Structure 1
Amino acid sequence: MSCFVRLLSGAVLLFVLVTIPTLTHAQSVEGNIELPDNCTVTDKVGGQHTFPQENSPSEFLAVCALAKALQTGLITDMRLSEFPGFGLFVEGLNGVVAGSDEYWALWLSGAFAECGIECLTLTQGDTISFILTSFEGEERGASIVLHISALTQTSEGNAPAAPSSSSSGGGEYLQGRPFDVSAALNFLADNQNDDGSFASSLLTDWAAIAFGAAEGAGCSDWCQAAHGKLRFYQRSARPELSSATDYERHAMALMALDINPFAETGSDYITPIVDEFDGAQIGDASLVNDDIFALFPLLHAGYAKTDTMIDMIVKFILFKQKTNGSWEGSIDLTAAAIQALALFPARSDAIEAIERAQEFLRRNQNESGIFGTNSFSLSWVLQATRSLGQTPDDWKKSGVTPLGYLGVLQQEDGGVEPMSMRSDTRIWATSYAIPAALAKPWHSILKDFSRPVGTETLSSVSEVVLAPIPSTVSAPITPPKPTPAIVPSQATPSDVEQSGMTAANTTTAQLAAAATPSENEWNSNGIWLAGVALIFSATFYFLFRRA
């Protein structure tokens, strides 16, 4: 028996030694940092970047806090990428690389940082946090928390300012450009599959919304043919949907293409959304995006603003607004909420919430006049402001409008985001940008449909019938994994460009109706299972050997 005990103890010890570091890396790290007044960091392709730079707002920057954490061993690695024209953003920390539906959100002393790692100024007593976050605003468990215990000068004195390798979004270097909608539509058509679909069901849905927005608005013959192929595909597709947001997104896609979401495809994509209403909200009570996006298809599917269910959803959205005017501290989710609440101009509570949300967006519009570091947040903000009857000129800053900046992000092939990024990411970004450039909020894109006879309107909360979302529909379509957000998602995980990121300017948290796991260097689940298997194998062997 002593032999058995020794082997079993060894197996347990091996399991603990291997698993605990893994879980630690995958979860959180916290420590104190003495922040130096200069640093040099290396990006993922080997490029070196020295700070402060000529246009840095301070000597003491968040990027140098990360460099110090790496130098002292508080974190084991960091993966930085340079976004052309904007500087560095964080892709991975401590072996955890953001998945295509995730980004490393940057927080400063408990508030969402209004600037990225290159321009975020720190002082003694500050705390910066990098939190792995989905584009739906859900924290994914991994975090790096750095407390600035002191500011230190180097022995050589302040390091000379290095030439800037990127503009960091400085408005003085930026001029707006027109956005070419026709070129963007042709880019989507060029990337369409022969059957009319795109790389994933998520991308197919967002492309459908883009084509629906462009109907009769600069859509060439080539574009019209792509629209027809996409509509034909969507009428027969049976995507695998598992959450309220999946159904909401797909219903929006169908309605944008003038396809009846109740019956024209042979499946009902509205009732599963209604079935997720629990008397107060839709879907997961810890999330608000599934409530925000529920309003768009439901209000075009025969449900009235005065229905009890709609009223309760609106109240829940209002309840989830934070004191800073945002939803989940996210530019993107706040822009989506504005679009939803703008549908209720007669509600004073909705109007007040919109005013606070606009203030949040104003605070998070940087000096270059942009929101975040890529097109995803920008597109949703453009739609949100248009839903309020505003124009891009109303949000001009440093001589550049948000629409002019969206034009800057459009490339020679008509797609949005750099051509070096994955095609899935660029398809997604372009699908978001087209409705924004056309000044069309989601509500204005969807066609109206009547509820089938026999579908009752909920007149009171007590009449609500709870039912889980059915999972009977399926198709050989790989779940989405392109990125902004969405997912950044967001197709297999390894095939997607990371686009949800903490960048040199305002961080972006793009939302999507899909979720995928992060691409971790450590597979903690696999190691845990291996440890358990080892223990049970040893136990089984010695018990039966004795028998």
Structure 2
Amino acid sequence: MFNKVKHIILSVLLVSTLFVSTFQTTVFAAEGETISVVGNNNELLLDETNYTFAEDATAFDVLVQAVGESQVKYSESEYGVFITEINGLEAKDPYYWAFYVNGVQAQVGADSYVVQEGDELSFRYTDWTKPSENSVSLQIIGDKDHVILPEPSSIAYIDQPTAFDLLQIGYGQENIEYETSEYGVMITSIGGLAAEGTYYWAFYVNDEMASVGVDSYALKKADKVTLKYESWETPAEEPTEEEQQPEEEQEPVEEFDQAALKNAINAASQYVLKQEVGDWQAVALNKAGKTLPASYLENLKKQLTERQGSFSKITDYERLTLGVLAAGEDPTNIEGYNLVQAIYNGNVTKQGLNGVAYALIALDSANFEVPSSAKWTREALVNELLKNQNGDGGWTWSGEATSDSDTTAMVLTALAPYVESNADVKSAVDEAVNYLSAQYKNSKIDNSSTAAQVVIALSALSIDSHSDQFSKDGVSLIDFLLSYQNDDGGFDWQGGDTSDLFTTDQGYRGIVAYQLFLNGKGSLYSLTLEKKNTETPADNNETPVVVKEDVEKDTSENVSTTKNDPPAKTKGYPLPNTATQSYNMALIGLALLIIGITSLYVRKRQQQ
């Protein structure tokens, strides 16, 4: 009997072994919601990993959960989170952590992007001084009442996203409405402009109507993707150049209401003072005649001390120089550091024309002395700007052939003090002013931030933003800027009832600059240097050296001064258990089978 039972057990074990051996641990490619982190030289710091979708979770939340809270370092300001390190890889200048959604570089911060079902997230260690390997441009042309993205906006991409991915991430999923069918996606609304009647959203690639739908077209390098609001009815023929049309009579602008401007500045000042005041706001408050909170200078000095006077970006020194002046201190000797020296002996071109223009603005803000031995004299900075002017009269941050209004305005602000003394500067400025005038008249200045930058530049040049040269349909540029101010005193970027700090910062500077123009008080960035009886640190042709490790704070023109001691992110979302269920169940079944047979064998032995 014993031998019989033994043979049964061995037979069952053999069959079970053969059965279990067919259940190999299966490795599935990540599907659905995934996240990856790619470091320097395409090193995988986190391979493509699934995450569990949860409503209201941001991309930053998903990143922290995926790699661990201790593996993510960041700075935080009123504008959001700036990631400085992932898995021990610090984003030192000129590197930063770029963030992609479904293969398209996000246009908002990781903490601002709310993940959607199916999103594939990727964080990439990126050198901002090098052009992207793959990029396309996105242009959205509405009707005369809906100016959306009239100028192509360059956006980087990875892998093989579609034009629909580009549209959603490039312009914002919340601004796109669509329907799906067996034929694919049909766009029904962009930016609130609905496809109705004879009108629809046409899809073009490289100025030719696409032969496939927006969700079927895979992006190719240097593509120009355009969504255009059109009617399927045959339009009236455009007149040829020979058939000259009578020039439209320009509607004159009405007399400007200076009392309304004063009220607007007071309202904006109150809005700004309710928030944490940054360096740019400090400049505007100073020039508006308002009192800066004591906490601003305290925080500024604390930041300098903690960083031992050393910052990774040249624009940090430039912006802080203006902030120190606005607070009534001397940037050549603030907490023992000479910020001005760090500018004229710094690498001002590393951040493109942004660094060059604001270097000149900072040096001229209080007419600082620049030694002839400096790496960057005023003459060198002026020449650097002049040689980068484009044929259309404008400038662009990255040196591309197509100019943009923001960079052009920034450069004009820097060149303004040299118009009367330098013929080359005057010629360049005249061309640039004509470029900006055409941009406004053609509705290509379509947001409050750009309008503010242009008003700042024109005011520095003593050119009226409320003139026929800068008016369209009776609305002047300064009127256009003021139209974006909300009841709370803040500004919205492109229309709406919700103010935001970044847009308000620029809008506030714009209206203060125009008031200075009306009062004949010069440029927004002309500040008073209050010298004190302290010894200025020696000029040794070196910028301060970082001795203490610290989280890098990006505080350039486009990213605000960071707050101290940012709150820890505690919200997280669990990653899924990816263990193979069939394998586990087979093992459990086998164990139960063996236990049962063993029990039977023991009972039989006891009965013998």
TM-score by length of 2: 0.48
In the other structure, the counterpart of 1:298 is: 363
- SS of equivalent to 2:224: strand
C-alpha contact 1:376 1:432 (8 A) present in aligned 2? no
Sort the Cα spacing of 1:146 and 1:446 in 2 relative to 1 into closer, same or farther, 3 A: same
Q: Does 1:374 align with 2:441?
A: no
The whole-number CA distance in structure 2 between the counterparts of 1:204 and 1:304 is 27
C-alpha contact 1:211 1:227 (8 A) present in aligned 2? no
Match of 2:404 among 321, 330, 348: 330
- SS of equivalent to 2:393: coil
Where do 5+ consecutive residues of structure 1 fail to align? 1-5, 36-40, 42-50, 64-71, 81-88, 96-117, 129-140, 160-170, 216-222, 457-463, 496-547
Sort the Cα spacing of 1:245 and 1:472 in 2 relative to 1 into closer, same or farther, 3 A: farther
How much does 1:316 deviate? 0.9
The whole-number CA distance in structure 2 between the counterparts of 1:260 and 1:147 is 49
Q: Note the alpha carbon deviations across 1:388-441, whole angstroms, 9 max, x for none.
A: 222223334222222222222222222222674354235423442343232352
C-alpha contact 2:554 2:561 (8 A) present in aligned 1? no
- SS of equivalent to 1:389: coil
In the other structure, the counterpart of 1:76 is: 165
The whole-number CA distance in structure 1 between the counterparts of 2:460 and 2:407 is 15
Match of 1:355 among 410, 430, 449: 430
Query: 1:140-539 to 2 correspondence within 5 Å?
Result: 145-146=223-224, 157=233, 179-192=260-273, 198-199=275-276, 204-215=278-289, 223-224=290-291, 226-227=292-293, 229-231=295-297, 233-238=299-304, 241-277=311-347, 282-284=348-350, 287-299=352-364, 300=366, 302-303=368-369, 309-328=377-396, 329-344=403-418, 345-367=420-442, 372-394=445-467, 395-397=469-471, 398-417=473-492, 420-421=497-498, 423-438=500-515, 439=517, 440-447=522-529, 465=541, 467=542, 470-471=545-546, 479=554, 486-487=558-559
Aligned residue pairs total: 377
* AA of the residue aligned to 1:309: T
C-alpha contact 1:205 1:249 (8 A) present in aligned 2? yes
Sort the Cα spacing of 1:246 and 1:158 in 2 relative to 1 into closer, same or farther, 3 A: same
Q: Note the alpha carbon deviations across 1:70-122, whole angstroms, 9 max, x for none.
A: xx954336338xxxxxxxx92479x9xxxxxxxxxxxxxxxxxxxxxx99999
Q: Note the alpha carbon deviations across 1:310-350, whole angstroms, 9 max, x for none.
A: 21111111111111111111211111211211211211111
In the other structure, the counterpart of 1:104 is: none
C-alpha contact 1:292 1:340 (8 A) present in aligned 2? yes
* AA of the residue aligned to 2:315: T
The whole-number CA distance in structure 2 between the counterparts of 1:421 and 1:275 is 42
* AA of the residue aligned to 2:464: T
How much does 1:276 deviate? 0.9
- SS of equivalent to 1:263: coil
TM-score by length of 1: 0.53
Bigger Cα displacement from structure 2, 310-319 vs 438-447: 438-447
* AA of the residue aligned to 1:312: A
* AA of the residue aligned to 1:380: Q
* AA of the residue aligned to 2:505: W
* AA of the residue aligned to 2:509: Y
The whole-number CA distance in structure 2 between the counterparts of 1:127 and 1:478 is 44
The whole-number CA distance in structure 2 between the counterparts of 1:121 and 1:351 is 43
The whole-number CA distance in structure 1 between the counterparts of 2:220 and 2:413 is 31
Sort the Cα spacing of 1:358 and 1:490 in 2 relative to 1 into closer, same or farther, 3 A: farther
The whole-number CA distance in structure 1 between the counterparts of 2:527 and 2:488 is 25
Alignment root-mean-square deviation, CA = 5.7
**Which structure would you say has the larger RCO, counting Cα contacts within 8 Å and 6 or more residues apart?**
1
How much does 1:445 deviate? 3.6
Sort the Cα spacing of 1:421 and 1:452 in 2 relative to 1 into closer, same or farther, 3 A: farther
In the other structure, the counterpart of 2:600 is: none
* AA of the residue aligned to 2:369: Y
Sort the Cα spacing of 1:477 and 1:432 in 2 relative to 1 into closer, same or farther, 3 A: farther
The whole-number CA distance in structure 2 between the counterparts of 1:120 and 1:340 is 41
C-alpha contact 1:254 1:260 (8 A) present in aligned 2? yes
- SS of equivalent to 2:278: helix
